[in-house]
Amino acid sequence: MIKTLTETEIGRIAADAVTELAQRAVNGAPIYSYIDTCPLAWNALEEGGWDSIGASEADGGGDATLRDLVEVGKAWGTACIPLPLMETIWAKRWSVAARAVGGPVSLSVQRARQGDQSSLAPFGSLAGVGIARSIGGDDSFERGPVGLAEPFAPSLCASILHYSTEMSGEAAYELAVIWAAEAVGAAQTLVDLSVQYAKDREQFGRPIGSFQAIKHRLADMHSDAEYAETSVIWASMEREQAERATLYALDTSIRVAESAIQVHGGMGLTWEVGLHFYLRAILTQRELVTGLWAGIRS
């Protein structure tokens, strides 16, 4: 049936708040300048209660639905700030101990690669983050930094561990949706950055966005970012379709990131312009989500 797909009020409020906090913290600075020295204090997120909006009201949370967390994930993914906000929201939704322990929390996922028993923990190399041994059981946390740093995606501060966090299939499903939503937020930012660049950058005496070769690529990027968003919303509303829908959202977001680099030409290749930080984050999120689904199936 033709359904309504909108989020509830708490999702809208939290997404707006997170966007504003991130924007104020970043204050227009280029991404490479804040990726190593986080511009936002964890306290600011905790004081607003934004880290516990996913818990029930009885547990002091905001009763956000998974559909709401898609909006928050998108908003947070837009900024690429190196803090485990979404992981903490998810952990506090599922774990009594995570709600009690305070401070940022993250987790570890078994990688879905042949001949590889290692696990990947986003924010595992960040000091003060509690990496969960399990979520939804008799949970305990190991204070970071833990394991061997995995620096591929600087905004995710990941590390490689020899254990993965135990969790239920339902919890893993929700986490897959949340990470895919972050990737979609990054893709939307990349569309905005590329459109702005194509308006500003001139060659042959005209803005390059006036050329159909660029314009059509940007139109496809806009469309892809829309499908990626729709796909992750679908995943949040239909559990049984969520594996293919989250992976489609991630693959499509990666395609957007590749196009963003192409539209930026030589600038897109530079470390400082920093489009690669988004691409690296999305690629890592795909690896994590793939690992989650492999875990759910086994």
Binding site for another protein (CB under 8 A): 1-6, 195, 198-199, 206-207, 209-210, 212, 215-216, 218-220, 222-223, 226-227, 229-231, 233-234, 241, 244-245, 248
Of 1 and 127, which has the nearer Cβ to another protein? Answer: 1
Residue 193 Cβ, how far from another protein at the closest point, in Å?
12
Q: Residue 68 and residue 6: Cα distance in Å, rounded?
A: 9
Residue 280 Cβ, how far from another protein at the closest point, in Å?
25
Neighbours of 2 (CB within 10 A): 4
Q: Residue 15 and residue 27: Cα distance in Å, rounded?
A: 18
Of 171 and 187, which has the nearer Cβ to another protein? Answer: 187
Of 4 and 43, which has the nearer Cβ to another protein? Answer: 4
Q: SS3 for 206? A: strand
Residue 6 Cβ, how far from another protein at the closest point, in Å?
5
Least Cα distance to 108 among 140, 154, 73, 66 occurs for 140
Q: Residue 260 and residue 248: Cα distance in Å, rounded?
A: 18
Q: Which two tokens stand for residue 159?
A: 């590390």
Residue 270 Cβ, how far from another protein at the closest point, in Å?
23
Of 86 and 245, which has the nearer Cβ to another protein? Answer: 245
Of 110 and 231, which has the nearer Cβ to another protein? Answer: 231
Q: Residue 50 and residue 64: Cα distance in Å, rounded?
A: 11
Q: Which two tokens stand for residue 271?
A: 């470390």
Q: What are phi and psi of 10, to 5 degrees?
A: -65, -35
Q: Residue 142 and residue 259: Cα distance in Å, rounded?
A: 39
Of 231 and 290, which has the nearer Cβ to another protein? Answer: 231
Residue 240 Cβ, how far from another protein at the closest point, in Å?
12
274: left (phi over 0), alpha (psi -120 to 50) or beta: left
Residue 73 Cβ, how far from another protein at the closest point, in Å?
16
